[in-house]
Each structure stands twice: as C-alpha cells, then as structure tokens.
C-alpha cells in the first residue's frame, strides 16, 4: 500500500514541468550536465525533482538553504542513479549543509582499549542512520571542475550506495549475486595496488585516501570514474569495467566524444580537451 502511494506521489511530481530556474542552475553549476545526451538530461531532471521532494535539506553554520544548493547537490547525487533501478537512497533522510569545511568529533580506540576523541576537519560525511553532511563551498567547486577527480557529493553518495547492502564495506548491492566474485577480486586487487602505491609515495589516478579502507576505496574510485574516466580506464581497466557495469554508464564516452552529447552547448570551465585517449 505504501508503495502505491509513493508511486502515485512521484507521478504527480513528474507531471509538473521542470522549473526554468533549476535548468539555469544546472547549466551554470554542473557542467557535466551539458555533456549528457538529451535522454540522460531528461532522466536526470526527473531524478532531481523526486530527490528534492523527498529529502530534507538543512542549513548549518547559519547557511540558508536555497534552490541553488538543493539543485546542485541533487544533480550530483542523482548522477550516480542514471540508467539503474533506484529508490533514491532509501536510507537517506537529511542532507545537512555547512557553508565551509566543518569540524567533526572522531572516536578512536587504542590497542589497550582506551577510547579517545579528537576533532577532524571534514568536507563531507555520510552517516549510517540516514544523513549526509556537506560543505557547500566544496560541493559547488567540485561540481564546477569536472576533471580534477575530486567531488565530495559523488564521494559521500557512493557511501550511501555502499551502505544499502548493510555495512559500508566497498560492496554495494549488485544486480546479481554471481557478480560479487568478480567485484571482490577486481576491487580487492586495485585496493591492494593503491595501498602499495600510497605506501611507497607513488602517484595514482586514485586519491591516496582510497587506501584507508575498502569503503573509502569505492568512494574514491567513484570520483575518478566520473571525473577522470580515460585515465582510470588506462590505469585500472578491470576496475573501470566493474564500475561501468555497476553504474550502467560509460563516462569516457561523453568526455572523449562530446560532440555526441549535448552538441552545441558551451561547457563552462572546460575549454580544452578533457580526455585524449591513448589506446594501449
């Protein structure tokens, strides 16, 4: 019965036109939107409307929530949902947004069982009980630069996807149970490689923070998949293929061949070629 009312409510939301002001926000704040096909843009706009209607946005640190904040965050969060069956992050209830980086209390347990607390400056957090916390300035800059491999919204919402399977362990819900064997092997090998590279000071297309644990590895890999797809495919071809299968998207295509996606649109802040693929 609840599912019936939810579907009816969502149909009513989608019956309304997408606001022109929201379209302008997408074009100004999220240049990746301009690299999508027309069909993908329509799908993303539908996801954005439902996401904004169903999630609670809260301002912290005296930040006032605006449509710009809602649409910019929703666009990035929903980018991870294209082409896939989704219930819009069902565990997520609230998005708390600070104007800048915020301080979080971290509890740590030493080897002798002594528990201590320390303050850590964060750009984002994904809580296990239905909350994502974001710094607005980094959310906006991460959306604007589609080639640096750093996007706090992609990162934290990858954690939300990861948590849908229970614990955050780098293994989100996959389409078929048989897919977990390859997923565990490929991501496990890539994670071990990143740990080794990080430990020896070698640079990687993947941020070294991904070497912290498997959950952070999946989140960091998601950032690179959407923002440095050509580099990720060259360095970690099997990892790229696993993420392509999971997300049902191939970001390399709309970076490498932008003329096929949103032709005629000016893409702010991306005047040079983002991907010049050197086939190996």
pLDDT at 143: 96
In a domain, 66, yes or no: yes
Residue 6 lies in a domain: no
> In the prediction, which pLDDT does 116 show?
58
**pLDDT tens across 115-163, in order?**
656 656 677 777 777 899 999 999 999 999 988 999 999 999 999 999 9
Structure tokens at 224: 């690179």
Predicted pLDDT at 150: 93
What does DSSP say about strands 94-98 and 102-109: parallel, antiparallel, or unpaired?
A: unpaired
Q: pTM for the whole thing?
A: 0.87
> What distance in Å separates the CA atoms of residue 113 and residue 97, rounded to the nearest whole number?
34
Question: pLDDT tens digits for 163-202?
Answer: 998 888 999 999 999 999 999 999 999 999 999 999 999 9
Whole-number pLDDT of residue 124: 75
Residue 100 belongs to some domain of the structure: yes
270 contacts 146 by C-beta, under 8 angstroms: yes
Q: Distance between CA atoms of 15 and 264, rounded to whole angstroms?
A: 28
Is residue 3 situated within a structural domain? no
5-9, 65-69, 247-251, 252-256: segment of lowest average pLDDT: 252-256
Average pLDDT taken over every residue of the chain: 87
**Average pLDDT of 16-32?**
97
Asked whether the predicted pLDDT for residue 114 surpasses 90, the reply is no
Distance between CA atoms of 41 and 91, rounded to whole angstroms?
25
Q: How far lies 209's CA from each of 49, 194, 218, 226, 245, in Å? A: 33, 9, 11, 17, 24
Which range of residues forms the domain containing residue 112? 14-260
The number of beta carbons lying within 10 Å of the beta carbon of residue 128 is 12
| pLDDT at site 126 | 77
Report how many domains make up the chain.
Answer: 1
Residue at token pair 């301009």: 34
CATH classification of the domain holding 36: 3.40.390.10
- For residue 267, being part of any structural domain is answered with no
**Cα gap 274→229, rounded to integer Å:** 10
Give the total residue count for the chain.
280
DSSP label at 19?
A: P
- Integer-rounded Cα Rg, in Å, for the chain is 19
Q: Is the predicted pLDDT of residue 267 greater than 50, yes or no?
A: no
Residue 87 lies in a domain: yes
In a domain, residue 183? The reply is yes
């Amino acid at each position: 019965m609840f599912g019936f009312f939810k579907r009816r409510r969502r149909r009513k939301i989608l019956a309304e036109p997408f606001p022109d002001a929201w379209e302008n926000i997408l074009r100004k704040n999220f240049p990746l939107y301009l690299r999508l096909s027309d069909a993908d843009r329509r799908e993303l706009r539908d996801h954005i409307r439902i996401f904004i209607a169903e999630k609670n946005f809260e301002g912290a640190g005296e930040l006032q929530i605006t449509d710009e904040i809602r649409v910019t965050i929703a666009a990035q969060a929903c980018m991870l949902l294209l082409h896939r069956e989704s219930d819009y992050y069902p565990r997520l209830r609230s998005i708390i947004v600070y104007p800048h980086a915020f301080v979080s209390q971290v509890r740590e347990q030493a080897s002798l069982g002594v528990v201590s607390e320390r303050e850590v400056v964060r750009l984002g957090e994904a809580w296990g009980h239905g909350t994502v916390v974001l710094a607005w300035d980094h959310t906006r800059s991460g959306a604007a630069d589609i080639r640096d491999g750093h996007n706090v919204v992609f990162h934290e919402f990858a954690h939300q996807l990861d948590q849908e399977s229970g614990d955050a362990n780098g293994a989100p819900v996959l389409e078929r149970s048989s897919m977990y064997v390859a997923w565990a092997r490929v991501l496990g090998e890539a994670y071990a490689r990143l740990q080794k590279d990080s430990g020896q000071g070698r640079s990687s297309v993947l941020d070294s923070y991904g070497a912290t644990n498997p959950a952070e590895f999946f989140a960091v890999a998601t950032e690179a998949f959407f923002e440095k797809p050509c580099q990720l495919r060259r360095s970690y071809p099997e990892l790229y293929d696993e993420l392509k299968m999971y997300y049902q998207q191939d970001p390399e295509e709309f970076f490498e061949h932008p003329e096929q996606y949103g032709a005629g649109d000016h893409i702010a802040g991306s005047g040079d070629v983002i991907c010049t693929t050197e086939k190996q």
